[in-house]
Amino acid sequence: MDKNNAQINTLTFAWIADSIPALACYVDSSLSYRFMNARYRKMFSLADDIDVTSHSMPSLLGERGFSGAQDKVNKVLQGEFVSYEYRLKTGTGEKVLQVHYVPDFEENEHPDKGVRGFFMMALDVTELRLTQENYKRDLQVEVESKTQHLSQAMQELRSAQNQLFEQERMASLGTLVSGVAHELNTPIGTSLTAISSLKDKSIELKEKLDNKTLTNADLSKHLEHSIEILSLTQSNVMKASELIQTFKSVSTSETIEDATICNLSVLVENIIALIIPAFSDKNISLTLKVDEKLELLVHPMQMFQIFNHLIHNSYQHGFMDDKDNAISIFLMLKEDTLHIEYSDNGVGLNKEAKKHLFDPFFTTRPTSESTGLGMTILYNIIKGPLSGEILVDRKLNKGIKIDIYIPCTSCPVSQRPVFGAD
């Protein structure tokens, strides 16, 4: 290559290197500079017309600065491509550089013949890293704040959980926690939206009153709107309150009444007489079979809960219309164990429903119509204070059959079940 072409190529290379938004230089194998672009010279406050070959990396970076890059320089001089991040202290402060070293081999076709120098390109990422650090700091503050609120919410939820499952903590307790939040969200959210709307309308009304532009029509319209909003809010607050009471009833660690010896036939008949009228629209016929002389030590309220949840489940999930709906209840005592056999002729359960019947929040109905807690409450009554067993027949294709076994062996001898008691 002649001298003119070499000069043109050098100028072209210098122009390209000065145009890129990065620091660029070429260092030979003796660590002396052979080229620096304008950004690199400016970094070290060097004049544009300085002889760069009079500087070396160790002298320009300083002993401390070069020591941080020396192992990377050694690697590139051994033929490796190197990338790393480097913090450089300059007269104007600390700079964060994203550095790339590219080896320049003696012969491109034969890298094994040695490296005569390397190209270096460094992007100034100081502002980017500062922004990232500020973001991380702000994010950490936000996370800590959120964590504090979540911690407080979790403490409240744990307190509720201890009430819900004091004796029998089910494997799907995590599902219960998320379900509580989900179920309460709808009525509370609806109430909040309604109240916010009422507030906005009230502000508009006050402005008209202050401006003396309020008409009877405005006032009448506002009152109508207020009544609608308050009615909607009351309905949703009541729904939330009922839901909270339902959640509380899942916990069956204690019963507010003492156990008492009852005639089981009379007790169950009275319970059914209280329950069935609420489900009269489905025209349910009920068959009850129990020894009329069987007396048993029971908690009446627990018995009420058992049959209430069973019948309600048939009503809501088993019977789709008001025709030919039937429920059968058989109670018998076998070897100090009360056996309750409950069945209906409803639509039945598929394989998946039978598997998850007692799981919290599992329901075959839309979530707006059912909380999916009824059979969970029943399960916890049987498995908790009654120390019994509850099984669903998985062979049936239509209807449902549930067997409940409640041991009576914990009763004192004087209070054991008595047949033929007068």
| DSSP of 99-140 | EEEEEEEEETTEEEEEEEEEEEEEEE-HHHHHHHHHHHHHHH
Residue 111: its pLDDT value, please?
Answer: 56
Domain's final residue, options 220, 250, 280: 250
Question: Does residue 106 lie within any of the structural domains?
Answer: yes
Instruction: Indicate whether 131 belongs to any domain.
Output: no
- Residue 229 and residue 334 in one domain: no
Residue-range definition of the domain harbouring residue 216: 165-250
Whether residue 291 is found in the same domain as residue 236? no
405 and 299 part of one domain: yes
Low pLDDT (below 50) residues in the chain? 1, 3, 5-6, 8, 165-179, 246, 248-256, 410-422
Domain's final residue, options 200, 225, 250: 250
Prediction pTM value: 0.42
pLDDT score recorded for residue 108? 59
What is d(CA 42, CA 46) in angstroms, rounded to the nearest whole number? Answer: 6
Pick the last residue of a domain from 124, 151, 178: 124
Contact residues for 142 (Cβ-Cβ < 8 A; gap 6+): none
Residues 272 and 349 in one domain: yes
Residues 225 and 265 both lie in one domain = no
The pLDDT of residue 168: 38
Helix (H, G, I), strand (E, B) or coil at 78: coil
Q: What pLDDT score does 416 carry?
A: 46
The Cα angle at residue 367 between residues 254 and 307, in degrees rounded to 5? 40
- CATH number for 286: 3.30.565.10
Q: How many Cβ atoms sit within 10 Å of the Cβ of residue 373?
A: 25
Alpha carbon separation from 12 to 9, 16, 261 (Å, rounded) = 5, 6, 106
Percent of the chain with pLDDT over 70: 79
Residue 373's closest CA among 386, 363, 383, 388?
Answer: 363
Q: Does residue 230 share a domain with residue 267?
A: no
Q: Tell me if 329 is assigned to some domain.
A: yes
User: Residue 364: what pLDDT?
Assistant: 73
- Whether 100 and 26 share a structural domain: yes
Q: How many domains does the chain have?
A: 3
Whether residues 10 and 111 fall in one domain: yes
Tell me, yes or no, whether 183 and 309 share the same domain. Answer: no
Residue 152 in any domain: the answer is no
Taking residue 298's Cβ as centre, other Cβ atoms within 10 Å add up to 21
Examine residue 23 and state whether it is found in any structural domain, yes or no: yes
Q: Is 302 left (phi over 0), alpha (psi -120 to 50) or beta?
A: alpha
My answer on whether 283 and 401 are in the same domain is yes
Of 142, 164, 351, whose CA–CA distance to 243 is shortest?
164
